[in-house]
Structure 1
Amino acid sequence: MSSSFKFPISLFLSSLLLHAALGEIICEDLPAKTCAFSISAAGKRCLLETENVAGKFYCRTSEVDVEGILNHVETDDCVAACGVDRKTVGISSDALLEPGFAAKLCSSACYDFCPNIVDLYFNLAVGEGAFLPDLCEAHRANPDRSMLEILSSGAVSDMAQAPAPAPM
């Protein structure tokens, strides 16, 4: 068995042992590779951080509460479907302006099946005065229009004070 094959297996097994032993996710105990887009047993988002040492990452618990989702490590399928990157250090609403990101985030594969990631970007959009369902609807209606145009056009300026999408 090659050493490149042993590492993922050992990571997977240690993850199973961690969950079996503790029965809960503690962000600081997660490997950097699974930190981003994870939620602790206490319902707090896990954040990937970097030290001053180049390439050295660690996971920490944020102060951000997530309603209705506990003990969750995002699946690789959702990471791919939503166009996010597990190596993301700090998450910002700037991603909403990146070409192609809205298409993935608003796709059925992401929007309908990845409530953790959708909830995160829903809240980031709210922070920008936008309503993610309206942004996605505007994007679906005119996929060639950039998210920057949609945000600045006032198409979503009458944002409703609606709750985040319910987890599935």
Structure 2
Amino acid sequence: MASQMIPIALILSLSLSLLPSSLAVVICEELPLDLCAFSISTAGHRCILESYRAKDGGEQTKNQCKTSDVVVERVSDWIETDECVRACGVDRTAKGISSDALLDSQFTGKLCSSTCHESCPNIVDLYFNLAAAEGVFLPDLCHARRSSPHRSMVELLSSGAASGPVAAASAIADEVAPPPSA
């Protein structure tokens, strides 16, 4: 009888470990530092890794996991897998993210890979929104990356997200110039 209890207990504990994370409560401030970045709290806020100076006045900085103000639609209780972190080329130890990463061809290669794009919706959503804030549509960037990696960088740089003085002067001239006569 005792020998039958071991397989049942093993099956029960294995099945409980495979339950979705929605049954867990994710509080950013309680996450271990190596799981903080790319996680989403129960309340739907992104968790971020931040540095702070120790209260003792020393030079040493320490890291902490904090709840950001960014709310993620339709996702909560999410701790990104190590497989997705590797597949998408992101770094859990980085403090903050930047759209500059989208200019790195190695990074966009991983981010746009089918492994990342099809299996890691949280990371893709994060960079989709980051790209959109720069005036870039991530699916277009990934398509351009697949068809011509060097051209995709040119398209990103010329997306208009960071228009220079010539573009600004042209836009002003267009606004004040009288319409052409018909």
Assess same fold via TM > 0.5.
yes
Please report how far the alpha carbon of residue 97 of structure 1 lies from its aligned counterpart in structure 2 after TM superposition.
Answer: 1.1
Please report how far the alpha carbon of residue 152 of structure 1 lies from its aligned counterpart in structure 2 after TM superposition.
Answer: 2.4
Q: Deviations over 1:68-112 (max 9, x none)?
A: 111011000000000000001011111111230110000000011
Which of 153, 159, 166 is matched with 2:158 structurally? 153
Please report how far the alpha carbon of residue 146 of structure 1 lies from its aligned counterpart in structure 2 after TM superposition.
Answer: 5.3
Distance in 2 (CA, whole Å) between partners of 1:151 and 1:144 is 10
Structure 1 stretches of 4+ with a deviation exceeding 4 A read none
Aligned to 1:59: 65
Q: Could you tell me the percent identity over the aligned residues? A: 58
Name the SS for the 2:53 alignment partner: coil
Give the conservation status (yes or no) of the 8 Å contact 2:135–2:159. Answer: no
For structure 1, the 5+ residue unaligned runs are 1-15, 157-168
Does residue 1:81 correspond to 2:87, yes or no? yes
Amino acid at match of 2:64: Y
For structure 2, the 5+ residue unaligned runs are 1-16, 55-59, 162-182
Q: Which structure 2 residues correspond to residues 31-42 of structure 1 after superposition, within 5 A?
A: 31-42=32-43
Distance in 1 (CA, whole Å) between partners of 2:131 and 2:100 is 10
Name the SS for the 2:69 alignment partner: strand
Please report how far the alpha carbon of residue 60 of structure 1 lies from its aligned counterpart in structure 2 after TM superposition.
Answer: 0.3
Aligned to 1:28: 29
Aligned to 2:138: 132
Distance in 2 (CA, whole Å) between partners of 1:68 and 1:85 is 24
Aligned to 1:48: 49
Name the SS for the 1:78 alignment partner: helix
Give the conservation status (yes or no) of the 8 Å contact 2:136–2:159. Answer: no
Amino acid at match of 1:58: Q
Q: Deviations over 1:94-144 (max 9, x none)?
A: 111123011000000001110000000000001101110111011111124
Distance in 1 (CA, whole Å) between partners of 2:91 and 2:124 is 14
Per the normalisation by structure 1, the TM-score is: 0.75
Give the conservation status (yes or no) of the 8 Å contact 2:45–2:67. Answer: yes
Give the conservation status (yes or no) of the 8 Å contact 2:141–2:152. Answer: no
Aligned residues: 136
Q: Which structure 2 residues correspond to residues 83-98 of structure 1 after superposition, within 5 A?
A: 83-98=89-104
Specify the structure having the higher radius of gyration (Cα): 2
Distance in 1 (CA, whole Å) between partners of 2:128 and 2:102 is 10
